[in-house]
Each structure stands twice: as C-alpha cells, then as structure tokens.
A and B are shown apart, each in its own frame.
Chain A
Amino acid sequence: SQQGEEDPQALSIQEGENATMNCSYKTSINNLQWYRQNSGRGLVHLILIRSNEREKHSGRLRVTLDTSKKSSSLLITASRAADTASYFCATDLYSSASKIIFGSGTRLSIRP
C-alpha cells in the first residue's frame, strides 16, 4: 500500500496562476519530500521538509507540513509553462527510515 496520496490527481491552470497540490500520508514520518517528473523523464528532487518543520520555501515553491493531520501541501506561485509536469510526494517511515514511498502523483498542466 502507498504511504502518500496526492490530491488532486490532475490540475489545469492558466499561466501566471498559483498551483496547490496536497499530499496525505498514513503513518509517522521523519520527513516528506516533493519531486517533479517531466514527461518521459526521471524524477527530480524539489524540496524536503522535516517532521519538526511546518513550512519551507525554495524559490517559487512553498511547502507546508501538518503532522497532526498527516498532510502536506506544495504551492507553486506564478506558474510557468515549464512547470507542466507530474508532482509526487514521498515519505519515509519513522520506524524504517531507509527508504521512501511515493504517492501516485498530481499531473499539472499550465495553459498559455
């Protein structure tokens, strides 16, 4: 079974708008990561947030983590055509912190 689940499964927005994706997970974690995958390519690490952090920024990316609700959100501000991709959250397991488990992803499309 998958640890993390993203919502929505697909999102289409206008260029320049903000995009928000959510991730929910089931068990306690050490940290949560977000990855981007362009069509036909490998995954690229975007940002990592630790369980004792509530918010983190990296350029146009903002990630929040609510461990009480077991959820995270990824906000991409001022979207660009190049942001079109699938976005995945990944969590480790607090009891077995040697691997991460991925959710099924959110497909983001940016309309020109």
Chain B
Amino acid sequence: NAGVTQTPKFRVLKTGQSMTLLCAQDMNHEYMYWYRQDPGMGLRLIHYSVGEGTTAKGEVPDGYNVSRLKKQNFLLGLESAAPSQTSVYFCASSYSPDRHPTDYGYTFGSGTRLTVV
C-alpha cells in the first residue's frame, strides 16, 4: 500500500518550458488536492478535485491546470513555467464517504521540488 506517490521528486525547468506533475493514490480516495509550499508561507491550495472528472480552483490557481481523468490520478500542469513557480509541490488525498471530506485527515505525498530558472 503506497499511499500517495508523486513523480518526479525533483525537476529543473527553464522559463517558458512546460511540464506535468503526477500524483497517484491507491486508497480509493474521492478527493485530491495540489498545494505549493514556499518558505515561511505554509501550504497554499492550487487546485483540487472532488471526484473523477471534476476539478476546482484553490487559492493560487493562476499558471496551473489540472486534470482528473482517473480516480486514482491527479495531474498538475505548468504550461509556461515562470521563476515564481519555483516551489515544493505537494499532492494530498482524502477519503469522503459523505459530504464532509474534511472530517478525515489528508494523506500527503513526499513532494516535488521544482526550480524554474
């Protein structure tokens, strides 16, 4: 049982390049989330998904796109990377048998450290 797996773990991009971060969970969780963590700022929510085929914007969605084609996968895309997107990105998932997914703790991946030069 791997939990939440993020790939890649590290990446360096040049400004303007694109990339996709992959998050996979094997816990049959309905809800999945993408956060970014910058020094001294805690975690900020980028996008989230309440189920397969659905996505919604979080606090800082600009410059990112997401897709949830399969329940177990949540992809985060950067179409044209900018230095301001240098950060550590965390994916999380949550079990939700009812209408309050926040009644359960989130399971986090180990993060992707992205540097845009």
Contacts and interface: CB of A to CB of B under 8 A. Distances in A.
Q: Does A associate with B in a complex?
A: yes
A102 B42 contact: yes
B42 A30 contact: no
Contacts of A35: 105-106
Contact of A44 (B59, B99, B104, B108): B108
User: Which range contains the number of B residues in contact with the other chain?
Assistant: 20 to 34
Contacts of B40: 104
Interface in A30-82: 30-31, 33, 35, 40-45, 48, 50
A100 B102 contact: yes
A89 to B, nearest CB: 10
Interface in A73-112: 88, 90, 92, 97-105
Interface residues of A, number: 25
Contacts of B103: 30-31, 48, 50
14 contacts: A33-B102, A41-B110, A42-B4, A42-B108, A42-B110, A43-B108, A45-B105, A48-B103, A92-B100, A97-B100, A98-B48, A98-B56, A99-B101, A101-B45
Interface of A: 2, 30-31, 33, 35, 40-45, 48, 50, 88, 90, 92, 97-105
Interface of B: 4, 31, 33, 35, 40-45, 48, 50, 56, 58-59, 90, 92, 99-111
